[in-house]
Structure 1
Amino acid sequence: MRKLFPYPWMTLVLWVVWMLLNETLAVSHALLGAVLAIFMPLMTRAMYVHGRMKVKKLWLAVLVATRVVVDITVSCWKVCKIILGTKQARSRSGFITIRLNIRSVYGMTILASIVNSTPGTVWTELSDDNRILLVHLLDLNEEQEFRRIFHERYEKPLMEIFE
């Protein structure tokens, strides 16, 4: 069974996304979606060089996802205020470095997605040893707050989930 479905959750998610994108429950779409959902993980399994992702605390993953949605919404409003505000407010952007403690490749990938999805921040560079992260912030007045949120609300929970 594992040979046909090496990543069963991915297969299920691909099939559900296919059905949602097509907005129909027609048998032809369901079958085509099932074929694609079964064969895509089979054809791409050579790319999974880091092994299977193991989520240790699913409830914490849901909590982090909820936090991300709330923080992105709040950040959208802050970015709007900066962009529509004074020229001085727009001139406070710059780069900061953050020391990373997370080691999981999957955790880092999700952390990068969170940073890049949040308006006003961009993950720009990771050191060769994966210890120092360079981030561009639109508002450097919140540098310390960003570091605190980054470590407490995202990095630590992701370490609990994946390590």
Structure 2
Amino acid sequence: MLPYPLLSASLVIMWLALNGFTLGHLILGCIVSVFASWGMAALRPVKPRLPKWYLLPKLVSIVLYDIVRSNIAVASILLTGRSKRIKSGFITVPLELENPTALAVLAVVVTSTPGTAWLEYNSLNKSVLIHVLDLVDEEAWRVLIKTRYEALLLEIFE
């Protein structure tokens, strides 16, 4: 009946904390928490397989380095007034990744790096549309994403 009992109990407690304790709110909070628990059970993703989990620290260090480097680059664009001369644009990057968890990780990596945003994944032709703030060379961005992130994610997840 309750696939996530801690979630259900937390929701009831939060419901009562926000609305005050009455018998009606207790019953309504219990009903809401049961349906929320069922909803979470329906959304439960397949547990990811990580055959080469030991490569995760390498991925994290690369991403953290790129985030710091991109923060500095974006800050310099904004502070030096180069924002009028930059050419932002959209690029399509073909991907080999098919694992949903690996695609989600790649989306988080691309979006968390300042100056880039993951916009759309096309599952029919396995490509992603990305917006880049300072787009100088489209092919260089494609190579960067495929060699720096996708290759490592392919190794970790497949």
Please give the TM-score of this superposition, normalised by the length of structure 1: 0.68
Residue 127 (str. 1) matches residue 129 (str. 2): no
Q: 2:99 aligns with which of 99, 104, 115?
A: 104
Larger Cα-atom Rg: 2
The equivalent residue for 2:43 is: 47
How many pairs were matched up?
Answer: 126
- Residue equivalent to 2:145: 150
Q: Secondary structure at the match of 2:128?
A: strand
**Cα 1:62–1:87 shift into 2, 3 Å:** closer
What aligned pairs does 1:19-58 form with structure 2 within 5 A after superposition?
A: 44-49=40-45, 51-58=46-53
Q: Which runs of 4+ in 1 moved over 6 A?
A: none
Shift of 1:114: 0.3
Cα separation, partners in 2 of 1:87 and 1:78, compared to 1, 3 Å: closer
Equivalent position of 1:34 in the other structure: none
Q: Letter of the 1:149 partner, please give it.
A: L
Distance 1:64 1:77, change over 3 A: same
AA aligned to 2:72 is: W
Q: CA deviation at 1:146?
A: 2.2
Partner of 2:81: 86
Counterpart CA distance in 2 for 1:149 and 1:54 is 25
2:10 corresponding residue in structure 1: none
**Deviation for aligned residue 1:156:** 0.9
Q: Alpha-carbon deviation of 1:45? A: 3.4
- The Cα shift of 1:130 comes to 5.7
**1:69 to 1:88, Cα distance in 2 relative to 1, 3 A:** closer
Amino acid at match of 1:52: K
Unaligned segments of structure 2, at least 5 residues: 7-36
Question: How far is 1:119 from its partner?
Answer: 0.1
CA RMSD, 1 decimal: 2.5
Gaps of 5+ in 1: 6-10, 12-41
State which drifts further: 76-85 or 108-117.
76-85
Find the counterpart in structure 2 of residue 117 from structure 1: 112
Task: Pick one of 68, 71, 75 that aligns with 2:66.
Answer: 71
Query: Which AA in structure 2 matches 1:154?
Result: Y
SS of the equivalent of 1:141 reads: coil
